[in-house]
Chains A and B, each alone.
Chain A
Amino acid sequence: MSEINLEAYLKQYFGFSRFRQGQKEIIESVLSKQHVFAVLPTGTGKSICYQLPAMMLPGAVVVISPLLSLMTDQVKQLKSQGIKRVVALNSMLTPRERDSHLANLHHYKLIYMSPEMLQSKRMIRRLQQLTISLFVIDEAHCISQWGHEFRPDYLRLKQIHQLLDSPPLLALTATATPEVQDDIIEALALEKLRKFVYPMDKPNIALVVEQVDTIREKEERLIRLMEQYHIPTLIYFSSRKETSRMAALLQEQIPNRRIAFYHGGLDHQDRLLIQQQFMQNQLEVVCCTNAFGMGINKKDIQFVIHYHAPSQIEAFIQEIGRSGRNGQESVSLVFFHESDRIIPQRLLESELPTGEWVQFALNCLYQEDYSYEQLKEICLLTADGNEVYWRFLQFQLERLGVLQENTFYVQQMPQNKVQQQIEQLIAKRLQYKTAKLEEMLEWLYTNSCRRQQLFKPFQETLQPSAYMCCDHCDFSWTDWQPSPHEQTAQEQDWLQTLMRILYQGDTNEK
């Protein structure tokens, strides 16, 4: 494939005239039917690496992604660009929609799918009838038991890849330490695998941490910064309640800025509106939880603030990577208050089931003789609909041989042994997550260059910073003077607004 060709395709389908770092090498390897593993930082256009091949190759490209919102956002985005032969298969579809998509599957060039969907035999049989020209594992760090977001379903992808006759495979991730990278490569167990790793540090983002003594101080400091910097800004919070509380407070204090909040608890339509407003610069500041950002491809964000520190470095790097996507000077600020230790610790404890919960579930299985469906139901019920616990248990039972093809074989291992094994694993996982949190907190206390410390686990060398580096090196607020964004249209009465948005020139139209 010659150079001119690829760039012409890029222009034709996506309207870009040049590739970003890494894209071209990866696409070339994919097109020459090699298996590829790539670490590409957030915001560098990972998705182009399989979207462009999908347009060029015969047959279909299957993309496995664990993030529902990412999947649907990408499909929406592609359709809005005129690329219509794309589909997302996930648990949100009605049975009727799913059947119709399945029947028409041969029609699509790009098929997005959640890993759970791939577990069904029917789905695999259907895929076996198609020509799969590329098998993509997005968010590949989910494969690693020691990755920050381990997904049991991901471990089975290897087997499914083989069932599909091992088409060229592309595993992509934005964040993986060398240790996790090795884990992924080992799990994929592919003979010839090309590996591309690109640096994750962004030279245009300055890193700042401000320790505060009281919560009040945090609020006041935030208000002052928002008064001062009129640029597109994301503020991350660890709780839904805080996003709405602070958005209201900020709006009240700074009436001339447009501020909104966003979290997973808002209804679908409202979330869509807030996203679109932010994209179109109708909103300047969004107070959000980590539910915001996935699939948001806004190039002019210049300021990312963590009102609460995140619970791990990987998530932090992803979140600050949403700023400065055009290379413009940007700042990441983390507020830190001593009490911020406690909340993330509690959060991560709630991500894993307790020993008692496991015991309860095993009692149902071993003593009450529950069927697979019954156990699933009671597990979802007792965990408040939190599917994570059930999936965790399901995977552990499979791993221990007690569950095979949705049927229990309790004679494989006595209950107390299973309990013990699972509890050990929970302890280990918890320990791991606590260590990740410690790593994050430790970084907040760093006394040396923050950039070096932050990226040390991921890469050996750093790119020189394009502007200011960090608060320990050279950062000062007075030296950061980004040009303010223009204000959007003034408030009008309803009639003027209606005329404006429907292009009805003058009042004499009445």
Chain B
Amino acid sequence: MFTYIVLDCIQKISGERTVYNIYHLLTAKKATQTIQDSNLFELTGYYGIDKSLRREDYDLVIQSLAEQGYIQLHQDQTAILLQKGESYLQKLEGEFQAIICFDGTRFHQSGQQFANHLLLFVQTLTYMHQKQTHFIPIIEDAATQQYVKQVWYHYRQQASTILLKTLYRELYQLLNKYPADMAGLFVDHLTTRERVGLSTYQIAEKYKLSLLDVSVSYTNIIHDICRHILDTDNMSLLSSLYPHRQPSVMISESAKQTQRLLSKNLSMAEIAAMRKLKINTVMDHIIEIAYITNNFHWQPYVSDIQYQQIKQVLQQLTSRKLKNIKERLPEEISYFQIQLVMALEK
């Protein structure tokens, strides 16, 4: 699955960004650039889906794709899909497209928290069911333990057999649509009274997958569960493990501060002066904010006519290279204005 993701990214970006922009996308390096790119190339789903991915492991994948003739790697670290890669990607698409559920924009943070809550809750529930109140928690993080404790308290009146049955039903419903190995890989992560979960290495070995495949496949199902929790009503138990209170909007810390100041009607120049930032940085923030805000108030930054002009060029051109776009527009229209309209026209 990991190979599929990388090839998919390379195809969508089609040489307009480097392979390291893909790495930053997968690891959610919250640079404004990354966030903009993911929107631009319709790759937001992959945002932050493997935050612990190591650069050297990623490099190996890229290298091997190049050696096998799937992609062509250029001097400037951009890459394009070769003919052989195209057909390979198509083959992989057949295998994965139906089951891919990544939604990094929404779940890159909350998904991880949810997964930890789920692991610890399942362990707690099965131990308690067996009247074993003492056990070594499989998640050591104090915040997770606190959270699960609260959820457990919430259910204190319910019989553990009912909870187990509900949990089973909800998980079954979700996992049933996956191929057996995918579902198995997920179930093997769980630690219960009956059995300690398998480590990433062990799962990789069992299903003959790479470590990276295991990691993204697991995340994929976690995102799927999160989506069901938020978009349907039939996940009552799992829903209580989802960190509802912290909506995870894909925006950098620094941009958040700028957003607060903007809401107080400060101008870009004022914000830059106040925060001791370059004006360009504040512009980047505004673009970032534009991507995630409905009804963004863009009128201070671009006139109606300019907006229409930019929009028209965007519709005509397939390339998303800013330079190409700017060349076709009147001189006075800035890169910032173009990027802003691109964000708003998403």
Contacts and interface: CB of A to CB of B under 8 A. Distances in A.
Nearest to A83: B134
B11 to A, nearest CB: 31
A97 B122 CA distance: 27
A278 to B, nearest CB: 9
A280 B129 CA distance: 18
Contact of A260 (B52, B134, B199): B199
A373 to B, nearest CB: 26
Which of B137, B142, B195 has the most CB atoms of chain A within a 10 A radius of its CB? B195
A97 B141 CA distance: 12
A67 B330 CA distance: 67
B164 A494 contact: no
Contact of B175 (A77, A273, A489, A494): A494
B153 interface: no
B201 interface: yes
Given A270-B200, A270-B201, A273-B191, A501 B138 contact: no
Interface stretch (A33-41, A304-312, A341-349, A502-510): A502-510
Interface string B179-218: 0100110111011111111111110010000000000000
Contact of A270 (B187, B188, B199): B199
B52 A267 contact: yes
B159 interface: no
Interface in A448-485: none
Contact of B126 (A269, A282, A501): A501
A497 interface: yes
B168 A276 contact: no
A399 to B, nearest CB: 38
Interface in B21-54: 52
B274 interface: no
B313 interface: no
A499 B137 CA distance: 22
B184 A493 contact: yes
B66 interface: no
A404 interface: no
A273 to B, nearest CB: 5
B138 A273 contact: yes
Contact of A80 (B135, B202, B205): B135
A500 interface: yes
A489 B188 CA distance: 14
Given A276-B191, A510-B172, A502 B199 contact: no
Contact of A273 (B167, B172, B193, B196): B196
B134 A494 contact: no
A406 B286 CA distance: 46
A272 B138 contact: yes
A81 B135 CA distance: 8
A431 B32 CA distance: 56
B332 interface: no
Contact of B194 (A494, A501, A510): A501
Contacts of A501: 126, 187, 190, 192-195
Nearest to B161: A503
Contacts of A328: none
B182 to A, nearest CB: 9
Nearest to A499: B168
B199 A76 contact: no
Interface in B143-174: 161, 164-165, 167-168, 171-172
B60 interface: no
Which of B167, B188, B199 has the most CB atoms of chain A within a 10 A radius of its CB? B199
Interface in A249-266: 251, 260-261, 266
Interface in A272-310: 272-274, 276-277, 280, 282
Interface of B: 52, 122, 126, 129, 133-138, 140, 142, 161, 164-165, 167-168, 171-172, 175, 180, 183-184, 186-188, 190-202, 205
19 contacts: A76-B137, A77-B136, A260-B199, A260-B201, A261-B201, A267-B200, A268-B140, A270-B201, A272-B140, A273-B199, A276-B136, A493-B184, A497-B188, A499-B168, A502-B167, A502-B171, A503-B161, A503-B164, A509-B165
4 smallest CB-CB distances across A and B, nearest first, come from A494-B184, A270-B199, A501-B192, A494-B183
Given A273-B197, A501-B194, 9 more contacts: A261-B201, A269-B199, A273-B196, A277-B198, A494-B175, A494-B187, A498-B171, A499-B168, A502-B168
